[in-house]
Structure formats: structure tokens, C-alpha cells
Amino acid sequence: MGFSNEAECILQNNAIVIRPVRENTGSEFSEQILADLIAQGFSGQELLAKFKEVSKKIAPAMDKLISEADSIAKGEKKGATMADIFGVEDK
């Protein structure tokens, strides 16, 4: 079934889905970065140079997100609420 040492549990349509944790190869980011750069009009060597520039920023950004999540989990920092993200719904 593809399970190794880790599984993720997801609540979906009133059911709990348990599936193997998928390794992130980075290809998802690469595809999104390339699609965005092409949409911006980059091509050829210019596309390659811009792709390398943007790709170098991914790892530091992920490290920062993980660090912030760790701080929130430890109670050192306040996390955003649903209202912070989506606003307050009028009743």
C-alpha cells in the first residue's frame, strides 16, 4: 500500500482517510514556478536564470515557515485565527 514509517490522517467527507506520507520532491514547486515565470513572459536563457533565482528562495522560506510553526506549537508565538485569515462573517 506504500506505507513506510509515517502516515497522514485526513478528515474528508465525514470519513477519516489514512494514507502514506508522500515525499515532497520539490517538483511541485518547480512546475508552479516555471508556469508562473512563463506566464510572466520569460523564455530561453532569461527563463532559466529567473528560475534559478526564484528556486533559491524556496528553502529559506520553508525554513522560516517551519520555525514559525514550531514557535506557535511551543506557545512562544500566537498563531492566526480563522477570523484573522478570512475575516469576520456578518450575521
Considering the chain, what is the average pLDDT of its residues?
Answer: 85
**How confident is the model over 11-47, as pLDDT tens digits?**
888 899 888 877 665 667 788 899 999 999 999 999 9
Higher pLDDT, 88 or 16: 16
- pTM score, whole prediction: 0.50
Count the neighbouring beta carbons within 10 Å of the beta carbon of residue 15.
Answer: 7
Residue 45 phi/psi, 5-degree rounding, is -65, -30
Query: Residue 91 — very low, low, confident or very high, per pLDDT cuts 50/70/90?
Result: low
Mean pLDDT for 45-74 is 90
Spatial separation of the C-alpha atoms in residues 77 and 81, rounded to whole Å: 13
Three-state SS at 76: coil
